[in-house]
Structure 1
Amino acid sequence: MDFGRARFVKPRRSSSGTDNNCVECTFDLVPVGVVGVRDSKDPVGPILAVSTADWRVFLTALRTAHS
């Protein structure tokens, strides 16, 4: 999968503080329906490609665990 034109952003609720420990995500990938996830400390490192359905399940699990 080509991530060359992907625009990665940090989640707005990131709690990275000064150490910059968070993930960045991109939702503007082809094929549509894929979320790219990478480590903000290593922007040229590996990128996980996750289906949007699985991404929603993951986020729901995080919200449930932190509520």
Structure 2
Amino acid sequence: MTTKYLTTLFPRIKAHAGITGLQLRDLRREGVSRMVEKGYSVLQIAVFTGHRDIDMIVKIYNAAQAVNIARR
């Protein structure tokens, strides 16, 4: 599956499912958040997701860690 194919297919799937207000990048952020919850390090997540700049991962990581601390 190519990026172009997924980018083309995603809006059609959303429309078919009746989903509004969701963008493809939201799924990537959700994936990163789940990896943080599972205990992966920032560098492991960067390698897996292909992020060249880890600033966004660090922001998500810090936000998720704050939520985990608040839960405890």
Q: TM-score range by the shorter chain?
A: 0.3 to 0.5
TM-score, with length taken from structure 1 = 0.32
| Larger Rg belongs to | 2
| TM-score normalized with structure 2 length | 0.31
Relative to total residues, which structure has the larger helix share, 1 or 2? 2
Which structure has more relative contact order (CA 8 Å, sep 6+)? It is 2
